[in-house]
Every structure is written in structure tokens, then in C-alpha cells.
């Protein structure tokens, strides 16, 4: 076996190239060759959630297609430089959602369960909405790095309706600023139906005489959305105003007038707008109510002489500012987009106003920061409070069946399913949102909890597992009671075991940390058996820590003795590498346990030694062999993992495969014996 020779040779030959780039290349190598397969490189990028039609990667994929089946190191450097940072993040597992494959599988499972729900009714008060297929269901997620998850009818156009409201608000703030916008519309939850005709009474801003203005409660109710629409481009024609709105939405979803690979502008459904105009009496009434308060922007119109020839008739006046505001509002509600497009718009809000696909700053950070709190408290009609408590994310629904959610600094979500509940929210949309936050730590207040039952999507699964136990185990091993006390205050479970079911109590006993053992027992931690049936008393006894043995003997527990298979204790023994980041070592071993080749590859790309050992001198090859993770075993061996590393008890990976009866792994490793 060459072990790490080919990596060392590679680095030696290319001293002028950074070690970081060499690690990226090495992580993709196969069969100890000094080339990578073009097909494998593409697969890794696509499996990370990126798309081949992503304009940030267009040049890179073009170069890969022109390059042939294999790539040498020098060519790899040139190819990745077209999208270096993005590619590096993908190869190192540092995109917004690093375990995108696992995330997608979990979302797929949720989707299939929620798809069975048939309750709710179509919106019937706007005729075109009553004609859509009620069984349509699509889910799209776009991260702040441009990773895309899509399932179901996520490329079907649907009417955005009230989902336009937060964006109208943002566009108005971009034009006029927060202070001027809020002279015309409030920021408070209404507690009323979205189409209620009541306006909020409040003391006029800057008015010292105590008089009251009447303005819409917030930009998320219809009156507020009509007002924000009326604030945008007041001096321009309707077509110019609508064109501006469509282009701003286009920039949110990745459209660019100069980019031939960009997405389309949102589609305008003229028939939908006409139907809204024809049936929207409440909205029309609101328009005139806003005019009556004097808050709707308008030019002062002089009354002209009546020129009607019939003495019983007169020229009936209709205020243009009202009709223009309503016409624009109806038009914006009648725009159509797909779930993927709207998820991209939501991701732009999650990304502080920068479109993740184009890196175009569409909205200022201040605008986004001012929009999200209002969206959080008022976005889900008069179910906003319940939704905030249960789901805890800024969100907006529309009677077209869409629901958008924003996870700040992580992702935008769009769920489309047209059956609505009594509040006008998508039934499946709400259920999908609830399931997402019950599986993942994305609720805005999850930072106040220590919850190891839910996953953090920002972490690889193996890192999440390492975090749940690793810090306590290392602290116990090193006698660090202060860290353990801190973990107790965070309500962390100090009885949690690792991939071998080794707990802090096992390691404290093995290393003779008497005070730690006493502390853990005082905290109610019960001795448990590890993978081999061994209790902490065996660790203490094997390492001659009699005082700890005495403590365990006083407990009323029937201990079993561990069984460690070591066929040739005096045989060959290879070195185990040390690595300063202890949690990354545990992450490496958890990835091996899960047969997670991508997780292993990410860590190799970060420079973690492939044969790094933990507190028990266990390596990734030990764990992959014990769990029968053949794909990981092959990857480790092909990247030079030594075969005869020995753990605390002298067992090699081959011993572990034999003890656990992992025949496929045992037969593979035996060929190298």
C-alpha cells in the first residue's frame, strides 16, 4: 500500500500551490491515482444542491465538458478558478446546507406525508382561482448559497396574490425610505380580517397638536398593500409602474436584462387582474377610504365646469389616484411565478437583499431588516400569532395557494397547494411548514433551547451528532468539570454516548478522572454498556484506577465484561494521526459510522487526516469496518488509510469487521493482509 505517499508526492511537486487546493483535489481522487474523474467532480457539485444551469457555474461546467474524462491537478486549479469560492465551499461541505442529500431525503418524506392531506377549499371569490387543479402541490427551497431543492409541482405558475405584499413594502421603502412610508401605513398587527375596512387611528407623526391620522394597520393587510402600491412611482404611467415592479421581482429571482441565461420576468395574468377589478368591491371601497383620509398620494384636482348637455345629468368624477393605486395593486396580485422562482425571492430576503443566484443586491440590508419583523407578526392573516408560535419564521401566504417562509441567513421556502383553510392559508403549506420546524432547528427562537432531538440544517449530520456528545466526552476525558457544569446549565444530556456508545463516564473512568466520575454520578448519570458490553468500571479496572472501581462497586448494578476481539495483538501496528480539532475527529468517525462518503470527503477536503484517532484511538476505518460501511471503507483505503491501526484495546479494523460479522468489509480488507 502506498498509504499517503501519493498525496505527499503531489504536495511536494506543487509547492507553489496552496495546500488548501491540494486537499480539495485529493478529496476527489480515486484508487490512489493523481487524477480525478470529470464525471465524479460534476456529481459532487450537483449532489451539493447546486445546478448545472446556475450562471455562476456555467463557465466551469463548460470547461469540464470540454476537458475529457480525467483531470490532473494543474488543470483542476485552472478550472475551479472560474468559480473558486463557490466550488471550494461545495467540496468542503460549507454551503448553507452542507448535508443537502440528507436534507432532501427528509423533505421528500415530509412531502409524501403532507401530500395525502385533502382538506381545505379553493378560493372561490375570484373566478380563475376556483378553476385551478386542487391537487397541485409543490415545494421549493433555495438557500443563500443558491442550493435548490424542488419537489412536485414546483415549476407550475400560480397567482401570487397577497404574497406580493412584503415586496411592495420593500419596493416602497427603497423608493421613499422607512419614515415616509410609515406616514402612510402602520406597523402593528391588526387582529382583523385581511380585507377589513377599519383603519388604525394614531397620533400623527410629528404632529404636536395631538390630532389623529387614520392609516392602514400594516402593509400585509389589503388596505396597507393598496397604500404601498400607491406609493410606488406615482408620477409614472400604469404600464411603467407595473414594468418596474416586474423587473424588481425579476431581479429578486435571478433575472437580468444583460444575462441570456437568466430566468424570465414574472408573468402578468391580465384576465386575473380584470376579474379582481370586477369582483373586488371591498378593495375598491378601501381605495376610496384611503383617499378620504388624505393619506393616499395624489395631485390636487380642480373641479372643472360641468359641461354635460343634459340638465338632469352631471360629469361624475372618479379620482385617478384611487383607480391607479387599485389597478396597480390588482395587477401585482395577478402576477404569476413558480415555487422555485418565489423561493428564490424569499432567499433574497434571507440573504439580506442579495439574490443568491446572481449576487445582485436588489434590496438594502436596512430595507430587509425593517420588512421581516412586520412580516413575522402580520404575514399569515389573523392566524399570524399561532403561526409565529408554532413555526416561528417570517412568512406570507396568498389565496392563490402559496406560502413563502424566510429563514434568515439560511434559505427561502415556497410551498404551493391551492386548498385553503378558513383564514385563507394553504392547508398543506401550513402543515409542511410545521413539519419542517419540528424536524429542524430553524424557529427564530430555537437559539434559546438546547434540543438534540432536532437537526441543525446548517451543520453536517455527523457534526451535529459530534456536537451532541463530543464536547462532554472530551471534557470528561481531560477532567474539565467547568465545561461539564456549563453543559448541565444548557440542559445537555451527559449520558449521551458516541458511535461506540462510549459516554463521558466511560472516558472519565478510563483516564482516572475521579472528580469527574463523582460529578457525573451526582448529576444522575447512570453507567451504561458500550459497543463491547463494557461498563465504566471495566475502564477503571483495566487502567488501575481503584478508587473509581470502589465507587462503582457500591452501586447496585449487574455489570458485564466487554468482549474485544484482537486476533494478533503482537502483529503489525500503524500510526494514528493526531488533529487539533477534536470535534472534527469525532465528526469524521460519525460520518464513517453512517456510511457517509460525502461527509468523509468534505473533511478530507478541509485537511483532516484520514487516519485521525479519537480518545480511544479509534479511527474512521475502525468505525466503518464495525458498521459494515463498505463504501466508506473503500474510500478510506483508496486514500491511503493505514490498515493496521490499533485502538485502545489493540483491535484493528479487520478485527472489528470480524467481531461484528461484516463479511463484505472483512473480505475486502483481508485481500490487503
Task: Specify the length of the chain in residues.
Answer: 673
pLDDT value at position 448? 63
Closest CA to 52 of 248, 331, 351, 261: 261
Q: Work out the pLDDT band at 15, boundaries 50, 70, 90.
A: very low
Phi, psi of 304 (to 5 degrees): -85, 160
Q: What value does the mean pLDDT take over residues 142-146?
A: 97
Cell (9 digits) for 531: 459497543
- The DSSP 8-state label assigned to residue 127 in this structure reads G
Architecture of domain 138-298+317-447: 3-Layer(aba) Sandwich (3.40)
pLDDT value at position 2? 47
Residue 563 has pLDDT above 70, yes or no: yes
Q: What value does the mean pLDDT take over residues 175-194?
A: 77
Phi, psi of 16 (to 5 degrees): -75, -15
So where are the chain's domains?
A: 5-91, 138-298+317-447, 468-553, 582-670
Cell (9 digits) for 277: 377589478
- Confirm or reject CATH 1.25.40.20 for domain 582-670, answering yes or no: yes
pLDDT value at position 6? 54
Closest CA to 219 of 179, 261, 164, 280: 164
Architecture of domain 468-553: Alpha Horseshoe (1.25)
pLDDT value at position 17? 60
Residue 209 has pLDDT above 70, yes or no: no
- Residues 21-60 have pLDDT tens digits of 889 999 998 776 788 999 999 999 999 999 988 888 988 9
Residue 299 has pLDDT above 80, yes or no: no
Closest CA to 281 of 242, 216, 330: 330
Residue 566 has pLDDT above 60, yes or no: yes
The CATH number for 5-91, chosen from 1.10.3720.10, 1.10.238.210, 1.10.287.70, 3.30.420.40, is 1.10.238.210
- Residues 272-288 have pLDDT tens digits of 999 988 887 788 888 88
Same fold, 5-91 and 468-553: no
The larger pLDDT score, comparing residue 384 to residue 340, is at: 340
CA angle 428, 433, 435 (to 5 degrees): 95
DSSP strand pairing (335-337 vs 267-268): antiparallel
pLDDT value at position 272? 93
Residue 504 has pLDDT above 80, yes or no: yes
> CB atoms < 10 A from the CB of 346, how many?
30
- Helix (H, G, I), strand (E, B), or coil: what is residue 441? coil
Q: What value does the mean pLDDT take over residues 236-260?
A: 90
* Averaged pLDDT score across all residues of the chain: 89
- Residues 614-672 have pLDDT tens digits of 999 999 999 999 999 999 999 999 999 999 999 999 999 999 999 999 999 999 999 98
pLDDT value at position 415? 98
Collect all residues with Cβ–Cβ distance below 8 Å to 82 and sequence separation of at least 6. 59, 60, 63
Amino acid at each position: 500500500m502506498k498509504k499517503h505517499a501519493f498525496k505527499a508526492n503531489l504536495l511536494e511537486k506543487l509547492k507553489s500551490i496552496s495546500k488548501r487546493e491540494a486537499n480539495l483535489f485529493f478529496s476527489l481522487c480515486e484508487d490512489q491515482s493523481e487524477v480525478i474523474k470529470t464525471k465524479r467532480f460534476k456529481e459532487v457539485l450537483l449532489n451539493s444542491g447546486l445546478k448545472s444551469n446556475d450562471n455562476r457555474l456555467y463557465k466551469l461546467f463548460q470547461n469540464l465538458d470540454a476537458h475529457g474524462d480525467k483531470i490532473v491537478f494543474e488543470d483542476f486549479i485552472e478550472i475551479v478558478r472560474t468559480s473558486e469560492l463557490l466550488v471550494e465551499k461545495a467540496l468542503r461541505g460549507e454551503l448553507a446546507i452542507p448535508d443537502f442529500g440528507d436534507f432532501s431525503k427528509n423533505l421528500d418524506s415530509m412531502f409524501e406525508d403532507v401530500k395525502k392531506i385533502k382538506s381545505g377549499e379553493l378560493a372561490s371569490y375570484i373566478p380563475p382561482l376556483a378553476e385551478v387543479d386542487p391537487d397541485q402541490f409543490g415545494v421549493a427551497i433555495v438557500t443563500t448559497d443558491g442550493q435548490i431543492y424542488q419537489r412536485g409541482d414546483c415549476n407550475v405558475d400560480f397567482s401570487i396574490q397577497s404574497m406580493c405584499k412584503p415586496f411592495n413594502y420593500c419596493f416602497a421603502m427603497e423608493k421613499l425610505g422607512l419614515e415616509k412610508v410609515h406616514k402612510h401605513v402602520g406597523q402593528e398587527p391588526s387582529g382583523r380580517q385581511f380585507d377589513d375596512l377599519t383603519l388604525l387611528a394614531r397620533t400623527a407623526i410629528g404632529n404636536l397638536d395631538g390630532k389623529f391620522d387614520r392609516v392602514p394597520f400594516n402593509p400585509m393587510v389589503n388596505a396597507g398593500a393598496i397604500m404601498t402600491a400607491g406609493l410606488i412611482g406615482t408620477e409614472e404611467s400604469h404600464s411603467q409602474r407595473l414594468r418596474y415592479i416586474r423587473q424588481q421581482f425579476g431581479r429578486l429571482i435571478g433575472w437580468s436584462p444583460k444575462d441570456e441565461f437568466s430566468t424570465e420576468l414574472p408573468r402578468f395574468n391580465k384576465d386575473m387582474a380584470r376579474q379582481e377589478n370586477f369582483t373586488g368591491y371591498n378593495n375598491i371601497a378601501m381605495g376610496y377610504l384611503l383617499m378620504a383620509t388624505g393619506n393616499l398620494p395624489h395631485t390636487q384636482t380642480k373641479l372643472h365646469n360641468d359641461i354635460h348637455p343634459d340638465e338632469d345629468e352631471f360629469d361624475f368624477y372618479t379620482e385617478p389616484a384611487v383607480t391607479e393605486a387599485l389597478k396597480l395593486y390588482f395587477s401585482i396580485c395577478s402576477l404569476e411565478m413558480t415555487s422555485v422562482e418565489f423561493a428564490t425571492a424569499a432567499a433574497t430576503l434571507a440573504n439580506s437583499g442579495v439574490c443568491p443566484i446572481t449576487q445582485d443586491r436588489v434590496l438594502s440590508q436596512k430595507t430587509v431588516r425593517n420588512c421581516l419583523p412586520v412580516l413575522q407578526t402580520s404575514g399569515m392573516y389573523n392566524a399570524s400569532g399561532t403561526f409565529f408560535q408554532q413555526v416561528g419564521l417570517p412568512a406570507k401566504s396568498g389565496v392563490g395557494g402559496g406560502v413563502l417562509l424566510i429563514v434568515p441567513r439560511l434559505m427561502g421556502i415556497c410551498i404551493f397547494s391551492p386548498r385553503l383553510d378558513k383564514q385563507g392559508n394553504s392547508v398543506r403549506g401550513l402543515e409542511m411548514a410545521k413539519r419542517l420546524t419540528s424536524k429542524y432547528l430553524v424557529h427564530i427562537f430555537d437559539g434559546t433551547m438546547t434540543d438534540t432531538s432536532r437537526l441543525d440544517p446548517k451543520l453536517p449530520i455527523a457534526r451535529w451528532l459530534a456536537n451532541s456528545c463530543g464536547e462532554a466526552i472530551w471534557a470528561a476525558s481531560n477532567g474539565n468539570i467547568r465545561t461539564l457544569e456549563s453543559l448541565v446549565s444548557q440542559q445537555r444530556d451527559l449520558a449521551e454516548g458516541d458511535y461506540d456508545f462510549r459516554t463521558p463516564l466511560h472516558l472519565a473512568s478510563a483516564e482516572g478522572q475521579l472528580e469527574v466520575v463523582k460529578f457525573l454520578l451526582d448529576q444522575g448519570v447512570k453507567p451504561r454498556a458500550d459497543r463491547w458490553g463494557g461498563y465504566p468500571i471495566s475502564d477503571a479496572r483495566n487502567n488501575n484506577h481503584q478508587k473509581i472501581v470502589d465507587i462503582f462497586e457500591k452501586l447496585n448494578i449487574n455489570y458485564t465484561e466487554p468482549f474485544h476481539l484482537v486476533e494478533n495483538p503482537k502483529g503489525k501496528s500503524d500510526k494514528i494521526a493526531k488533529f487539533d480539532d477534536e470535534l472534527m475527529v469525532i465528526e469524521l468517525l460519525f460520518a464513517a459510522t453512517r456510511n457517509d462518503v460525502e461527509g468523509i470527503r468534505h473533511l478530507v477536503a478541509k485537511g483532516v487526516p484520514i487516519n485521525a484517532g479519537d480518545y480511544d484511538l479509534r479511527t474512521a476505518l475502525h468505525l466503518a469496518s464495525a458498521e459494515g460501511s463498505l463504501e466508506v471503507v473503500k474510500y478510506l483505503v483508496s486514500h491511503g488509510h493505514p490498515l493496521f491501526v490499533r485502538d485502545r484495546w489493540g483491535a484493528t479494523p479487520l478485527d472489528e469487521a470480524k467481531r461484528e460479522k461484516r463479511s463484505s468489509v472483512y473480505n475486502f480488507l483481508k485481500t490487503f493482509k
